Amino acid sequence: MQMTTAVGKSLSSVANVAWRGVRALDRVLPDKSFQPKWAPAPLMKSTERTFPTLGFPRETDSLCPGCVKEVRESIIAGKESWRVLIDGNPGEIKARIIERDNQVLMVKDCDKHGRYEDLMAVDANFLRRMEQLYPGRDFRIVPDDIHDHGTSTIKYGRGAVLTVDLTNRCNMMCDPCFMDANQVGYVHELTWPDIKQILDNAISVKPKRQMSVQFSGGEPTISPYFLQAVAYAREVGYDSVQSATNGIRFAQDLEFAKQAKTAGLRLAYLQFDGIGNEVNEHRGVGNLFDVKQRAIDNLSAAGVDVTLVTTIVNGVNNHQVGPIVRFMIANLSKINAVAFQPVSFTGRDEDVDTETRQRQRYTLSHLARDLGEQLDGKLEPMRDFFPLSASGPFSDLKDLLAGPNTDWGSMKCGCHPNCGIGTMLLINENTKEWVPIPSLINVDRLLEDVKAINDAARGKKATAAQLGLALMRNFRWENAPKSLKFSSFFKALDGHLGRRMGVADKARYEWRIIMVAGMWFQDLFNYDFRRTEMCIIPYGTQVGEVSFCAYNTGVGWRQIVENMHQTANTVEWFKTEGRHPIYAGGKSVPLPVLREKGAAVTVNRLPALLG
């Protein structure tokens, strides 16, 4: 740190005294919250927020895997109306979340199908801490026609990522796969009117929310409307448009990557299961890591950010979580985040047997533990990880700084604390030196301070000054890198928050704040309706916005909706549209030969990429 620890601690002491004075003033002269144009009510104070039942033991509403499949099959066969999903409670049973031998489990009994038991955490204290850090729910959604799905209805929040499956066709045959792509016997592909209607519906929701629109599939780049959809999402007002992709088309076609950037693609949510082709063999493509390297290069050349997205299966690639973070750090100019997704046994894996499920189950507590161990102890699970929803006070801060006349609410990750975890790293893009931000900042206390700043609801300058005091008083000077100035950290934070405080003059500096996140989607064995009703990743579909987990798992929304609105059966599709390439069974993806000074260069550049 370019300031002695003693001087820094003295400044923190001064900031602490000033902070107490400011808080005393706020108590004497409180201010009212304003209601922005986008919101259904005034900005919420921390004391006004509601909470789901947390802690364990507790009881919740869940689903019987056996009953759900029976109901779904009955609807698809035409024996029962799909309206039962809205008007009834098909497959619903009670579940108990309990602690046993320092593990957390979900246990539920069905009169017909017997007992189901599944692991929720290998460390009860870790999950307990995540729940204790939950800051409370966001606004309740104003009832509308696109959020009407019975007990699967999303009730709270504004959403963070709107997912739109453009097609169920894919150029791979992955396992795991949410969709069971290429194997369901029909093609479900959105038409242009479908896509436009879904996006038009999304901007009508109150609170009006600034989300990241993610086009997915299948493989979304196969859709003939991919570029048009990206452009329209930007046209209606969404700042961040992304593609959940395996990267094959981007790897094969640099010009397509450039066209996507021109259309408005901000980032690629790139499937990335580990370092090296051997680690990716379970995906069925012989040179998949080579494909990822080329896709990253082409997307970077086009100006599109990349987030690495890893589905973790215990015993398959859980040993790769640390190497993937190192890979991200080594390639920080091209990669902006890592998102780990513990396996959800749904889609292609819904009929997993009990032994395999128990062996391959991987939880968020596994992830935090493994990252700590594989990164040589630099990450400490109980210090460095927080529920994704703990970032909520910073989203509220952005709303406060934006003022009453803004048209959109900020993107907010208000999910249930069992849904996701994350930590922030401060990384020097040039030297690759990095530290977890919770080692630099007392984040637990900072989050409480930011809540107090939001509750005070002062003007922009006063709010920025209070945040400066909060950062100063919570800064751990003794842990700061020698090359880091406090002012550099403050600018990096403001850039990360969208430059709302007026401190940063650009979005990125030499020191960058990068998220390492874990998002654990539900399956029928651990389904919890309290999580569904707070979903931040709604699926935009032909029957409205459905919770991610309700759509992919739940009572079977995906299979039912796609059957109702299928484009054609596969035989008809192949006759009229032909077959698209599918890379499976160890087949390699053909990649254009790179040339440098007239000579071909090898595709495998792993040592260089790892630095």
Q: Tell me what pLDDT residue 5 has.
A: 81
Query: With bands split at pLDDT 50, 70 and 90, how would you rate the model's confidence at 159?
Result: confident
Q: Tell me what pLDDT residue 184 has.
A: 82
DSSP assignment letter at 285: B
Q: Tell me what pLDDT residue 28 has.
A: 86
**Lowest model confidence (mean pLDDT) among 8-22, 122-136, 173-187, 246-260:** 173-187
Q: Which residue has the higher pLDDT, 2 or 456?
A: 456
Choose the most confident range, by mean pLDDT, from 30-39, 121-130, 577-586.
121-130
Give CA separation, 177 vs 229, 246, 281, in Å: 23, 12, 15
Query: With bands split at pLDDT 50, 70 and 90, how would you rate the model's confidence at 254?
Result: very high
> CA 372 to CA 291: how far, in whole Å?
29
Q: Tell me what pLDDT residue 269 has.
A: 97
Q: Tell me what pLDDT residue 301 has.
A: 97
**Which parts of 344-487 are beta strand (E)?**
386-387, 420-428, 434-436
> CA 221 to CA 243: how far, in whole Å?
8
Q: Tell me what pLDDT residue 587 has.
A: 93
Residue 575 CB burial class (10 angstroms; 0-12, 13-18, ≥19): exposed
**Which contiguous run of DSSP H or E holds residue 335?**
strand 335-342
What CATH superfamily is the domain 141-363+530-571+581-611?
Aldolase class I (3.20.20.70)
Q: What integer is the mean pLDDT of 591-603?
A: 55
Q: What integer is the mean pLDDT of 314-333?
A: 96
pLDDT at 401 > cutoff 60: yes
pLDDT at 605 > cutoff 60: no
Token pair 């053909």 in the structure block, residue: 590
Q: Tell me what pLDDT residue 500 has.
A: 66
pLDDT at 201 > cutoff 90: yes
DSSP assignment letter at 369: H
CA angle 348/354/360 to nearest 5° reads 65
pLDDT at 98 > cutoff 80: yes
End-to-end CA distance of the chain: 25
Closest CA to 347 of 521, 519, 212: 521
- Pairing outcome for strands 212-216 and 161-165: parallel
Beta bridge partners, 513, equal: 426
Kindly report each contact of residues 565-573 with a partner whose C-beta sits within 8 Å and lies 24 or more positions away, as own/partner. Answer: 565/188, 566/186, 566/187, 566/188, 567/186, 567/187, 567/188, 567/189, 568/186, 568/187, 569/185, 569/186, 569/187, 570/185, 570/186, 570/187, 573/186, 573/187
Closest CA to 402 of 471, 491, 506, 498: 498
Choose the most confident range, by mean pLDDT, from 190-194, 404-408, 490-494.
190-194
Beta bridge partners, 58, equal: 97
pLDDT at 600 > cutoff 60: no
pLDDT at 176 > cutoff 80: no
- Tell me if residue 549 falls in helix, strand or coil: helix
> CA 480 to CA 483: how far, in whole Å?
8
Residue 63 CB burial class (10 angstroms; 0-12, 13-18, ≥19): buried
Task: Output the DSSP codes for 417-436.
Answer: TTTEEEEEEEEETTT--EEE
pLDDT at 608 > cutoff 80: no
pLDDT tens digit sequence for 110-138: 999 999 999 999 999 999 999 999 999 99
Residue 608 CB burial class (10 angstroms; 0-12, 13-18, ≥19): exposed
DSSP assignment letter at 189: B
Instruction: Judge whether 339 and 517 are in contact, CB under 8 Å.
Output: yes
pLDDT at 601 > cutoff 70: no
Kindly report each contact of residues 19-24 with a partner whose C-beta sits within 8 Å and lies 24 or more positions away, as own/partner. Answer: 19/449, 19/466, 19/469, 19/470, 19/473, 22/466, 22/469, 23/452
pLDDT at 476 > cutoff 60: yes
Question: What is the chain's mean pLDDT, rounded?
Answer: 92
**Which contiguous run of DSSP H or E holds residue 396?**
helix 392-402
Q: What integer is the mean pLDDT of 474-480?
A: 91
**pTM > 0.75: yes or no:** yes
